[in-house]
Structure formats: structure tokens, C-alpha cells
Structure 1
Amino acid sequence: MNSDSTPQPQQPLYSVFSPRMKQFLVVMTVFGTFFSPFSSSIYFPAITPIATEYSRSVNDINLSVTTYQIMQAIAPLFFGDLSDQIGRRPVYMLGFAIYLAANIGLAEQHSYAALMVLRAMQSTGCSATVAMGNAVIADFTTSAERGGFISAVQASIMFAPALATTVGGILSQFLGWRSTFWCMAIAAGVFLLVYIPFVPETARNIVGDGSIAPPVLNASLMSEYRGWKARHDQTNPQQVPERKKMPRKLPIPNLLAAVLIMFEKDIGPLMLLMSLLVMANYAVMVPIQDVIRRQYDFNDLQVGLCYIPFSVGSVVGSVVMGKLLNWNYARVARSIGMSPDRKRGDDLRKFPIERARLDLVWPSLFVAVGAIIAWGWVVVSGVNLAAPLVVLFLVGVASTGPFSILTTLLVDLYPMNPGRVSSTFNLTRATFSAAGTAVVQYMIDAWGYGYTYLFLGMLVLAASPSVLIVRKWGPRWREERFQRLGGPGA
């Protein structure tokens, strides 16, 4: 068993989290996760004005998106695993402090070099929220209900880029592109004002099943107040849990263990499929500001509004898929004579979790591939604007399904290290996204829109047999990993 793996209790944090607190945690997790993809895309509508101000080409400014995505791949490897070891709260607060400073710097800088450096710093600060978002959900949910909650997190990941471009278009049109960074700085400040006093620590390694009081650095102001009140209540004395002691030295995140996850036989193929689908989605989103602007003679605001159908589709897709994931889990459980236990959590070692998750992939995956291919031909065909907007809606609806399904399965397969496995997915996803963003315009220039998106759609389709492979042999590989590591994903 890996020395850095600490066995986690099966009991979710129901003993300390009321239904209302769980809802609050989901809202804050979704809000926190929102920042990374939102920041990546908010200035897409202003890429042309930025290029003009700096006397650079659009491709040069697109490199700032690539830089952002490179750091989005690397930073979570450190922060995700660190959050499994020292807790979620310290990592959240450190990340948002970096993010806030970077946004202020971006709003005030006046050089292309500073833009590139600060975008990397901005990405470093907020990119870990995606990995930690899935980890927080895993902290306080059972596998029977996890799909619905993780779908909400995935919805924010899918919804954020489209909303960001709409907001970015409005801000750029009326207040100038620098206002986009002030907007993000203000939003980050609001998040911290709510997070610091009210959001409790959830990491199992820190609070167990809720019976362990977190260290001071991990404790929210509200939890500290409740502990103080309990200790000084003379009329109703209460036993206060002993506070967890943290090591004096900051633990070193096991980056190698995070990287090696992608080479697991059941994990690698799924990450490849998801990463290719993310790359295709970014390849759709990034050139919109240019092709829509030229094709329909739109300004920044009008370009930004064209992202709304994708946003709406992402929300619709995530809501539907979240309900389907929980329903299918219960259906599979009943089919093998088990009752989904929403209180304790099922023993996934004996449960066909691959079947419960992956059986839902195919309809949404095929629609997503079809919509990506259609986008390339529709957007330059000169047809009514309604046609490309409908295609964007379908891309949003269909793409959210595979993301929600496969991300939920990754957490199910690594319940002891949800931050680590999520950061590994970030590595592959962001790497492929950066590559796609960097080359898509060159592909379009060489092949045209139609053949570029036909190629991307067929690339995703070529990776889809990985679902069948993992569904068939995944349980055996999962058991082999259990025997090798001494625990589920240890």
C-alpha cells in the first residue's frame, strides 16, 4: 500500500452536515469550480481588440489561451494531491489569493509579455478548483447519489466558458477588455468573503467522518465559533472533539502517483476519450469570436451573445444526466439484488460500477460527435444564424453527458484520492485543450472549417471503443489494482 495513502472511513459526512449544509457546499463547490473555465474564456470576444492594442496577430493572442491551459494542466497535480493531504480549505484559500492578485495585475498591465506571465499566474491560482470540486463532492456523498452532484460541477465547467464569452462581450463592448479582469477580481473577492467564514473542511484525511476537529488553518470561522460556544456552555456541557494535529513540515504532493494514474488500464482509455472530447469542444469555442464576427459582421457584444445556446445546452444536459446517473445506479443495484444505500455508501469492490455508469454514454456521445462535425459545415455555409446556434446548443447538451458520466466514474474508482485522480484528468484534459487551441486556427487555414471539424469528430469517435473495453474488463482491472495497492485506488 502506498505510504501516502490514508484509509478513509466508509461513512460520508452525514453526521455533521445537514441537508441544508450539503446544498450550501454544492453551491460553493460549483461557484469555486466556475472560476477556472470562466477565466479561460472571458476575453475570447476581445481577442481581436487586444491584438489591435498590442499590435499583435490573433494567433499571438491565442497563445495566451494556450499558456493558461498549460498551467491548468500542471498546477492541479500539485494542488489536488496537496488537498488530499492537508485539506481542502488551505488549498482553496492559497489558490484564490494567487488568482486575485493575478487579476489585478492583468487589469493594470500594458505589455504582451506581462499578459502572458499573468495569465499563467491566473491559471495557477484557480485551476485546482476543478480537481478539488470533484474531491469535495466525493467527501460528503455516497456513490448512489454522487452522479447528480458531480453533474452539477461538470455543468459549471461546461457552462462557464460560454457564459464567460457572453459577459466578456458585454464588458469589452461597453467598458473595454480590461474590465473583464476587474470583474473576475471582484468575483474572487466575493467568493472568499463567503468561503472563509462559512465553508467547513471536508477532507476525510483531516476530519474523518466528522468526529475529528480540524486544525486551526482548516477551520472555518463558524466552526470555530461553534466549538468555542460548546466549550463555554455551562448549562449543557458538551464534549468537543480533539483537534487534529498537522505535521510541522508541509507534505510534498506525490506528483508521480498522480501522473501514473493515467497509465492504469481502466483509467487511461477513459481519460483519452474525455480529453479528445474536451479538445474538440475548445476547438469549437475558440474560433467562434472570429468566424461569427466575419460571417455576420457582428460586434463584441453580438459575438458574446452567440455563446448563450451552448451555455443553456450545458445546463440542460447536466440536469438530465445527473438524474439519469442516480437512476441507473439504483437500477443496476436492484438488478443484482442490492439496495442502493444512501446512508452508508455501497461497497464498490463488489458492485459493477462500470456498468452503472458507462451504459449511459452512447446516446450523448454520438450526438456530440455529430454536432461537432455539423458545426464545421454550418458555420461557414451562409445560412441563417439560427442554424449554427442550434448546433451549438446540441454540442452543449450532448458533451455534458460523457463528461459527467466519466468524471463520476473516475471518482468512484479512486474514492481514497479524489483530488489526485481529478488532477490527473486535469492534466490530460488541459494538455489536449492547449494543443487544440494552439493548432485549430492553423488547421482551419489549411483544411477549411468543414474538414477540420470532421477530423475532430472522427478522432473522438475513434476513441469511443474505450468505453466498451473498460465496461468489459474494468472490474477485473479494478480488483487487480485493489490487490496491488491494498485499497481502492490507494
Structure 2
Amino acid sequence: MSSGVLHIVDSRTKQKYEISIRRNVISAIDLKSIKAPAAGTDRADHVADGLRVHDPGLQNTTVIESAISYSDHERGLLLFRGYTLSQLWDSDFEDMLHLLVWGTYPTIQQRKDLNRKLTDQMLAVPDSVHRTIRGLPRTTSPLPLILAGLSAYLACCPDTIPASTHASLYQGNLHNVDHAVIRTVAAYGVIFGLVNSHRKGIDFQPPSQENSYCANLFIMAGLLDRHSSCPDLTKLSCFRRFAMLNADHGMALTVFSALVTASSLTDPISCLISAVAAAYGPLHFGATVSAQRTLREIGSTDKVPEFIEEVKNGRTKLFGYGHRSYKGLDPRVRPIQSILKDLDLSKNDYLKITERIEEVASADDYFRHRGLYPNADFYGNFVFTAIGFDPDIIPAAMLTQRLIGIMAHWREYMLTRGKLFRPSHIYTGDMNNSQGAAEDGPLTEITPLLQSHPGKERYSVFSTRQKRLIILTAAIASTFSPISANIYYPALNSIAADLDVTSSKINLTITTYMICQGLAPTLTGSFADQAGRRPAYILCFWIYIVSNIALVLQHSYPALLVLRAIQSSGSSGTVALVSAVAADVITSAERGTYMSITSLGNILAPSLGPILGGVLSEMIHPLSTLSLLFHLPTGLILLSNGLIFASYYAITAGLPSQLRSIYGLSDLNIGLSFIPMGAGTLLSATFNGIIVDWNYRRMVAKDRQDIEDFEVEKARLGVGGPVTLLAPIPILLYALTAPANNPPPLTLTLTLIFTISFTLTAIYNILNILLVDLHYTTPATIMATNNLVRCFLGAAATALVHPCIQHWGVRATYCGVAIVVLSVVPLPLPADIPILYFRYPETSWIYPGDVVLKSRTGDLPIISSRGLNPELTYLLLFFDLDVIYGMNATVTLHWYQPDMLCAMEGTGLMDMSDNKRILAKVDGYSNGGILVNKSMGAEYIAPRPPPFSHHRYVYLLFTQMEDYQFPECYSHIFPQTPKARAGFDIQQFVDLARLGAPVAGNYFIVEYDGPVIEPTATASPTTTWLRSILCEGSDPTGSAAAKACEMEGSLQIVM
């Protein structure tokens, strides 16, 4: 009776519970319903979360449901998919693989097809896997050799890794799972053959379509008869039969390790790597190696009784005897003994010792009462040594057979959507050391308050160097207030001209700054004494940084007046904080020396501030370099280039320590080892330039476009893209061959360094060329921005590489570097965005954020039809965002144009309505056409930024519906005058005209480049009174019954 109900009474709560029993198993999740009050308990016990199951080693825990194999030690029964050992005794490897993985015993044709697929995949194993294994010393242990081979194979197949492709690459995907099973079995067979032949010092022979899987395994591993140069048929038969016995054994450690890894939905090669590492443990397949060592220590059959006594007393271990899962004779032992008879080991002394151990142990009550009997490993190692395997490679050889079960369970797990393995643990540590009992007993009235004697410890937790750094940091923080005040003075005249206000008004901003500079410290000081110094510093700098950002973006005098006061409130609080920090850290005996440091800001700022302000004021755009970081696609290219540069320096910075720890090189030899890196850089710069120029000429000749309209990014990335895809490969190989325990030849490491240097330099140079191509008018600015990004990222990589190596190891660190390089591939290619491409007659095509001179924007622009539907009608709005007045809801309209159509090439010259504008040029970048208008709108007014400034201008294109009606309350916009165009409410117009969202748009910056005009206090001829329109049916306050009206404002605006 295997099903029923388990009745439980919880003594803690007197509650009764009923837990279902199915197939003699209860669900651990059901136990979580058994809960108790958490009051008075240790939070680490999670009492309120439900009852947990503690099962060290999972001795009585079932983790999956499987139909693959079943073992019954009492009846001596082992079933594979319902078949007994006697039924499968003559089965080949292909038969067992098909049976366990796909659930049916194969037909002759199915077995042939499976053998052909396995052989094809074995022949397809990349040469880099061969070179990886051959590049390691022959004396290397089999474990790292096999792991290196599997890792090299995985590096050649990145598309098989779900994390690099798709999370559900295998889960529920029958086709991908089946293909991965065959590929993994084939790859492991080749890697095993490579490792065995390499360690024996013989040539690797490839597999053949004419042979079975086991025969090909023998050929690749070099297990051939000396006379016939073919596998010995008897040994081959013994290996085949042992493979059937060892194909699966339930939740053995190799299978469970693979499943734990598989539960993260990763690829089977990664799961196999986990299984290989588990197999080599002395409590699993590694028991065969330990058993051989034990037999050598025993020496003869006469010493067996003495050895058994030592085992019983716990002084030594008997490997291969007894089993966790059952207390009886392993069903595989007797078949294995029959295999040994075929191998004729009658003269093997170790086998005699083994048989003597079983004889003595089976007659001993100690073993019989505990149900300890030989398992398959006890005799199995003799099968492998007789076939010709060295003892230390037996675990790997056994895994070629157990691989059948591993793949069967992996496939079953992926197709049944198993759960992620995430067990919990019982925390036994302290919850809070600070609340523990006194170590020296309970506290009494005579217990001294200070447990240490004066003089034994420093009176301060900070060293002298730390105190100096703390005070210096606080002093630097306090300089922001005086330097922000003094940096302002040289630019007063320029700011007055830019904002078109008088000098007296600008001086008021100094007054407000100084008033807040005196008031703010009184508030900050009180806050710091109550909340602490760190919150006060955070608050001050948060206010200071936000106000600085706002000052950069504002273009009005009232905003300047208010924001300067806020800026002062944030920065001046640090002046009081520096003294508070000094009092906290420094005693009165040393305070005189350190307080002098705190006054550095007030001393230096009056002299340094004006100098810095004068330099910045003379520069046209001191922030233009930083603005490129947010410019598409420039920002992504800069980031890509920075990541490549950082990857290069991560490898460069870590190379000396690796050469010293792995190869023990001297400083001179380490320096000489950088020659391949320099050679790779030099050769890459030369060769790469030739290839890039050739590709450029090839694409120009192919497309036959004008240079002005040529899409240069395709020419550059056509070379850079493939190089970027190849660059991670040598980095991965460098990572996988780097560990010091089994170092690769130095020549291999230097070759990889050369290759890494060559590829990364090529990528870096190509992206540099592309940046100059995109910003050919300002190459110095773009290169300065590029230098800023790459230096910051390179510095970060240099600082982080050694801590990462110490924390994660060489392999993980440089695999991460390879992933960073690979992540660069999509960055320079941003997704398509709705950009409205246009150009003026004297400019090239304008990208969002481009800077254009005012003198080049006088004529109507040419607007491309690229990305637009030629069957639709469009409406265009063009406006200025930076007109100076107090309302953010309205702007100044420069152009309103409805009824715009796509005029495509080949349709003839288009009559451009009243102004008779003629389409003079159609190029490749305009996609074969431009937008033209068939009716008049509010005529174009050219951008008019005031002297010493720049304004932002925006084009928005909307789809114009057939029933479009112009809102009559906006009829005032048609005159080509500032008064008519001021106070244009975009959102209100779009709502009333029912235009919907824009289909395309663009923005650019127009710089004033006209003659210098002295600022005046009177209104210029281009100023007018602000017009604020409120149309019927639309109200910013939300009222739908508002009436149309026109209001005259009292603020001035400048167009």
C-alpha cells in the first residue's frame, strides 16, 4: 500500500494536519502548511514560513519523477525503461542511447541513423578543441584536460548557450534538445579520445562512418591491437557490455550534478562539465582510483584481515564497498565478474586481493548487519585497466558510458519543465554579536567600564594618514561655495548680453548668492548636529548638483536669479560642515594644524575662481564635449569604443601578474613578453587601415553614390562588425588556458596576447575612423570626448581587474571581458527611430542634436521622405524652444505647413505652390524623394538666436487626415511677424486639430554667428509682447467650456 494520508499533530500548536502520501512519498511543499507563531523564536528558523525538511546529503529525498531506470537490490533487479539486464546484454551503445534517451529500443535502421549522426558530429568537432588539449602538457591530469576540451568546444558554439541566445532555447523545444544530445555525446567521445591519445603520446585518429560508437571511441583513444591496428574485439565487447550496465543508476552524483546545473536551463555541455567534476570525486567514479591505491597499499592477500580490522575501527576507508541507495548486493556486480572472466585476469594479484576482501567482509557480522556489499566500482576498475586505460582516466572512461543516462535525464528534465534546484539551509551562526553575553561572565557593579587599559590602543580609530585625507576631503568640499561665487565674475558681461539684461540686474544675482551664502550654513549646521554629517553632505551636494544642472539648461533671467540662490544654499552649507568634521575627528591637541587645512577653500577660491571662469567664458561651448555622450548614434559608438579600450587594458593590466604567477618570469622577461602585444597593435593599425579603405572604395563603387550622401557607417561597420564577433574567441581561449596549476606553453599565451591585441586594436581604430567620419567638421571635439570615455573606462578596468581575479578567478574574469567585447556588437547600431531627415542648401543631412550656424538656415530646408508613407499627406510644425519668457507651455512658431506630399524621383519637377520652390536634388539619403507642399501655410521664419547664444529648434511631422480642419482660433499665426508667432501652444493646437502623435521629428541647435552687437537695456526690434491664446474646447486647467479670447501679456520675448 503506497498511497494514503499522513496524520500529524504539531506539539507546538496542537494543530492537526493531513498530508497526502503518493507512491510512498510526501510532498515537502505540503509540510510548509505546518506553521507556528514566530514570537519568541529565532528568526533564522523561519517558523512562520512553515515546516522545513532537514536531509543532509539528500539521503531520503526524491527530487524528480523519472521513467529511465529502476534498481531493486533485494531482488537483484536493474531495469532500463522496463528492460532487464539479461534482455539488454547484447545491446550496443547506440541501442542503449536510443532506449534511455528516446524511450524505445531502436530498429536496425534507427540504430544506423543514430550512429551516422553521432559520427557526423564527432567529425565536426572544431580543430580549436584539438589544439587546446594538445597545447597542455601530456602529464596533466585527465580532469583539467577534459574540462579544457569541453570549454573549448563550448567556446566554439556560443549559439548553444541559452544565456547568449534565448532563455528557452532548450526548455520544451524537442528539436533543439534532441540535436544537443547527439552533439554532446559526440563531442565528449572526441574529447575523451583526444585526452587519452595525448597522454599516451600517440597520434589522434579520427572516427569513421563504418564503425560503431564504441569502436570509434577505441580508435580515437588509441586502444588498438599492436598487430591488427584495430580494436581488440574481446575488449570492445567487454567495454560495450559494461557500458550497458553503467548507462544509468538513478540519481547518482554525476546525473544529479548535471540536473542541478540543468535546472538553470543551461546547455548540456555546461551540465556535462559539472558531471565530470563530480565524477572525479573519490566518493563517486573516483572511488576506482582510490580503490587501486588502497590495493597497492595492502600488497597481498595475507594482509586483508588486518586491513578489514582497520576499516571496522574507522582508521581507513574501503572504497567501492557499500552503497547509499541500497543495503544489498549491487545487481551489476555479478555481470561485471563475468566480464572479468572474458578478460582473463587470473594472474592479477590486485584482483585476488579484491576477491579476498569480499570473502572476509561477507563473513564478518560488521558488514552483514550493516548491509555492506561490493558495488560496481569495486570490481569495475579491473575491467578498464584490463582494456588498457590508466587508473587516473577510469572516471572519464566510465563517464563515456554514464553519459547515456546523463543525457536521458537532461532531455527528460528540459521537456518536462523541471524546477530550479534551490534548497534552503539552517543558519547556526549568531544573529547579533553586539548583543551577545559578556565573554568574561555577567556584568556586575565592579566590572570596569573600559575593558582595555589606556595606552594599549590608539585613542582614535583613524590613522594620521586617514585623518589628513578626511580633513582634506572636507576642505575640498568646502571650496565649492567660494569658487562658485568667484568663477561667476569674468562672465558677467557675456551673461548680460546673452540674456539681454542690464549689468545691474546681473549684479542682483551676486547679491542673492551672498545672502543665501550667509543664511544656509546656519540651517545646515543644525541639521548636521542632529542627523549627522553624512546626511548633511548628501543634502548639500544634491541641492548643489541639481541647481547646476538647472543653470546649464535655463535661458531666462528670473531662472538665473532663483537658481543662483539655490546653488548658494547647497554649496555654502559645506563651509560649516568642514569645521564640524574637524571637531569630530581631531582632538584639541592637534586641531590647530588641521584647521589650517580647512581654510584652503576660502584662501584659494578668490584667485582660482576668476581664472577658471575666464577660461570657460572664452570657450564657445565648454560642455559641447559632454553633450556628444547623449547624441545618437555618437553616444553608443563612444561607449562601444570605451568598452573595447577597457577590455584591452583589463588584459594588459592583468598580464604581468599572470606571467609571474604562472611562468615565474623575471621583470625583464615580463617586459619582453609585451612585444607580441605591441606587434599586434602595430600590425593591426597598418593592416586594418588598408582593409577599411579598400572596403570604403568598394562600397562607393558599388552604390555609385556621391560622397556627401554615402552611408559611411555601413562601410566602417562592415569591417568592424566581423572583427568584433571574432575578438572574444582569443580572449576566451586566454581565459580557459590561464590557470596556473596546468599552465599552457608560453608561446600559446603570447600568441593569444598577439591575437587579442590585433583584434581589439582593429575594432578601436575602426570606431575612431567612424567617429571622425560622423563629425568631420569637429574632429578635435569628438576625439576629446572619445578620449574622456576611454580613459575613464580604461581606468575603471585597470582598477577592477585584480580584485575580480582574486574574487572570481582568472577564467571567470576574462570570460567576463570576452562577454563585454561581444556585447559591443549591437551597440553602434541603435534601433530605428522616427527621425525626420532634412538639410539646408548649405548643410549636410542634420541628425538630432547637431549644431548649425545661423547664417546657413535662412533658406527653406529640403525635407527627406525617408521612412515616410508616400501615399499620405503630412503637416509640419517648426518652432523655437528657447524664447525667453515665463511660460513653459508655449513656444514661438517659425513655420506651419499643411498639405505636404512625397515627391519621388521620376515624377518630374514639382510646382511648390506660391513660392515656386523647385526640387533641385534627389539623393540616396532622401530615399528617392522629398516632401513638397501643395498649399500655403504660415510662412517659414529662419532661426534667430540672439548674439552670444544658441537656441534649440524642433521639427515635428504629423499625419494630416482627409477631414483635417485648421483651428480658427490660431488664424493669427499666418503673418510673418514675431507678434503673430509668439505664445504658440503646441499641445493645444495638436488637440484641437486632432493630429495625434508625431510620426517623425528632429531637433537641432542654431548658433549665432553674426556680427557682435553690444547689449542694451532697451527692447530690440525683434521683441514683442507675449500672446497667450486660449481656444474654445481646450483649457490647460481642464475646463471644457472656456471661451476663445486673446490676452496681452507684460513679458518680453526674443525670437
TM over 0.5: no
Higher relative helix content: 1
TM-score normalised by the chain length of structure 1: 0.44
TM-score normalised by the chain length of structure 2: 0.21
